[in-house]
Amino acid sequence: MQGAGRCLASIHYGKEERAIETERLITRILQGEQEAFRELVNLYSQHVFHTAYSVLRDAKEAEDASQEVFIQVFKALPQYRSEGFKTWITRITLNKSIDLKRKITRRSPEQQGEDGEALERIPSRDPDTLVHLINKEKKEELRQKVNSLPNNHREVVTAFYLEEKNYEQISAELGVTIKTVESKLYRARQWIRNTWKEDDWK
């Protein structure tokens, strides 16, 4: 009995350690550390995959669902309220897997074969791949929003935020002083804050 007690205590302690480590990783991710997101993926990738597989019963589809889960987790982390991360990510995984299963049932056999071949080429649980996909998706969303800016703001915002140029480069390209670039960016930010909803620019 004592041995069993020690075993249960060890499991409980392991869960507590995992929960504490998860909260630390989330804090680092929200501070902009991409390496922390890679660690979070490594910590939960098996759980997410097995949960998805329990619904889909197909390894390739479970991989695809896992990729979508981690992308959604990354986007939704600012709204996460320490409600128990494992429960939270499990719920997201189940919802994604059920949605994917519905889509699969509506596809023809030929389409399923083509999608399966494509999935084999995507290492979807690889953290670096996920980070790349998330950054690419976020950048595309930002580009679409920036294109809706007035002309007097769009040029400088595109150069600074999308093309990642510094003040000196923008100044040289636009033929204005660095002080003017700073002023243009300030006015553009003010316009964005006053015009867009908070979720559009956070």
Res 12 pLDDT > 60: no
User: Structural domains in the chain?
Assistant: 2-125 (1.10.1740.10), 147-202 (1.10.10.10)
Number of CB atoms found within 10 A of residue 114's CB: 11
pLDDT of residue 181: 87
Instruction: Give 103-160 pLDDT, tens digit per residue.
Output: 887 764 554 444 444 333 334 444 555 555 555 666 666 677 777 788 888 888 888 8
Name which of 75, 202, 85 is nearest 134 in CA terms: 75
Tell me the one-letter amino acid at 99: D
Q: How far apart are CA 123 and CA 53, in angstroms?
A: 16
Q: What local confidence, expressed as pLDDT, does residue 136 receive?
A: 61
Q: State residue 120's pLDDT score.
A: 38
Alpha-carbon gap, residue 161 to 139, rounded angstroms: 9
Contact present, 150 and 191 (Cβ < 8 Å): yes
> What is the value of pTM for the model shown?
0.50
